[in-house]
Amino acid sequence: MKSKLSIKNVWKSYGSVMALKETSLEVPEGEFLTLLGPSGSGKTTLLMTLAGLVLPDGGEIRIDGVLSTFAPSHQRDIGMVFQNYALFPHLTIYENIAFPLRMRRMPAAEIDRKVKRILEIVRLPHVAERFPSELSGGQQQRIALARCTVYQPSIVLMDEPLGALDKKLRDQMQIEIKMLHEELKTTILYVTHDQEEAMSMSDRICLMNDGQIEQIGTPNDLYFEPKSIFTALFLGGANMFPVRIKDQDTDFDTYEGPGGGMIRAPRTNDPRRSGTDELSIMVRPEHITLLRSDEHAENAAEVRVRNSVMVGPVTKYFGELADGTDVTFTQLTTAPTRSAISGDTIRIGWPAARTVVLPGRSVGHE
């Protein structure tokens, strides 16, 4: 696929603060890419350099192959949705949406046609003559979307567009944006700090941390095969056990876990994993199963259950290993297996294939 957006070694600093370290990124046409990360991770800075609202200190940005590192925003053929929508308060909804078309000197009839059509698409044809302050938050959001897509820019940038909406509305808007993306087939760069939002919407997620890209890949890649503790923890609940390598086999390596228990994980050829390296094992809570007394698993451990929480379809269990290491796991609420009760000591297990070995140790218990 042809690269719509290509970023090479772009960096930006504010005084002594390195907001964005040298970053490179390729975005193919039609992709929905999410820039995910905690605040201060550089995701918004990256987005702003793409929008031309912040000029990078170095590097190269190409849009559709055209070098646009320092081009002004209005010559980049991009659309952008801002955090608080940035609807022009002195223009009506109609004029807000018509604005980019007028800037492109379209004939009035065509402007009218396009504005009406996009208002239909966002299901707000009746608000055309109102002012932004007369709309609800959700409506404003849709108008902002309409405004930045009406002229079919080659890339749409979205800066935490759903941050101000309540949960229900947000879920609904996520689907609408996704649908709009499929319908218009635009390339979207989406900034958020909400990993669920990122996973539910994106083709690929670019996880940022400390001014650089931590890991980039599909939601599945990031969730199930994180390359770092940071990625593992940021994408969702994770059990993290400090381990040392014990034995290397053809298919599996064996590690010594907390309290001396052995843990097996898929064999890797990572040369860093020598005996002295600090390593961690990550297991997602949903991969852990409760074992009956006669049952076996590739990896198993005894856990004392502290408490459990039923959150609809699944129930979350919080417990600890013999040496006090925290363990979390989930079971389908309707699962036929026996359920654990607080204070019980039970056996749990998980497959070696679902065991991920990561470099480093997690700081504290997250």
Partner 1 sequence: MSDTALRAPLPARADSGLRSAKFRRLWPLLPTSIFLLIVFLIPVSQLLWLSIVDAGGEINLDHYERLFSTTLYFNVLKNTFSIALWTTLICIVAGYPVAYLLASVSPASRSGLLIWVMVPFWTSFLVRSFAWMLLLGRDGVLNQWMASLGVIEQPLKLMYNFFGVMVGMSHAMLPIAILTMLSVMQSINPNLTRAASTLGAGTSHSFWRIYFPLSLPGVAAAGLLVFITAMGFFITPTLLGSPREMMMAQLIIIQIEEMLNWGFAGAISVMLLVAAFSIFYLFDRVLGMSALTGGASYGKSRGRDGLLSRLGSDIGRRFIAGISWIGWGIGHGFHMLFRPKYDRPGGQRMTARWLVGLAVIIFLAVPTFFVIPLSFSENSFFGWPPRGFSLQWYEAYFSSAIWQEATLRSVGVGLSTAMLSVVLGTPAAFFLSRQQIAGKTAIIAFILSPIILPHIVVAVALFYAYSYVGLIGTNIGLVIGHTVFTLPYVIITVMAVLKNYDQRLDQAAWTLGADQARTFRYITFPLIRTGLITAFLFAFVRSFDELTIALFVSGGIATTLPRQMWSEALLNISPTLAAVSTLMLVFVAAIILIAEFVGRRSRRR
- Residue whose CB is less far from partner 1, 135 or 177: 135
Bridging pattern class, strands 58-63 and 326-332? unpaired
- Residue whose CB is less far from partner 1, 132 or 319: 132
Stretch that binds partner 1, among 95-103, 193-201, 240-248, 264-272 (CB under 8 A): 95-103
206 in Cβ contact with 44 (< 8 Å) = no
Site string for partner 1, 43-72 (x = CB under 8 A): --------xxx-x-----------xxxxxx
73 interacts with partner 1 by CB under 8 A: yes
148 interacts with partner 1 by CB under 8 A: yes
- What DSSP character marks residue 313? T
The Cα–Cα gap between 220 and 79 comes to 28
90 interacts with partner 1 by CB under 8 A: yes
Stretch that binds partner 1, among 89-97, 200-208, 247-255, 305-313 (CB under 8 A): 89-97
Instruction: Evaluate the CA torsion angle 332, 338, 344, 349 in order and state its sign.
Output: negative
134 interacts with partner 1 by CB under 8 A: yes
Q: Min. distance of Cβ 6 from partner 1 in angstroms?
A: 16
The sheet carrying 356-359 orders its strands as 262-266, 252-256, 239-248, 279-283, 356-359
Q: At what angle do helices 108-121 and 93-103 cross, to 10 degrees?
A: 130
Stretch that binds partner 1, among 82-90, 210-218, 240-248, 303-311 (CB under 8 A): 82-90
Which residues make Cβ contacts (< 8 Å) with residue 72, sequence separation at least 6?
Answer: 52
List the one residue from 32, 151, 317, 350 that touches partner 1 (CB under 8 A): 151
147 interacts with partner 1 by CB under 8 A: yes
Tokens of 38: 């905690």
Q: Min. distance of Cβ 7 from partner 1 in angstroms?
A: 16
The Cα–Cα gap between 126 and 120 comes to 9
317 interacts with partner 1 by CB under 8 A: no
- Count Cα neighbours of 248 within 13 Å in the Cβ-side half-sphere: 9
- Residue whose CB is less far from partner 1, 132 or 226: 132
List the one residue from 157, 222, 243, 281 that touches partner 1 (CB under 8 A): 157
Element (H, E) at 170: helix 167-184
Q: Min. distance of Cβ 153 from partner 1 in angstroms?
A: 8
Q: Would you mind telling me the total number of residues written for the chain in this entry?
A: 366
List the one residue from 37, 42, 79, 219 that touches partner 1 (CB under 8 A): 79
Residue 159 phi/psi, 5-degree rounding, is -105, 95
- Residue whose CB is less far from partner 1, 72 or 125: 72
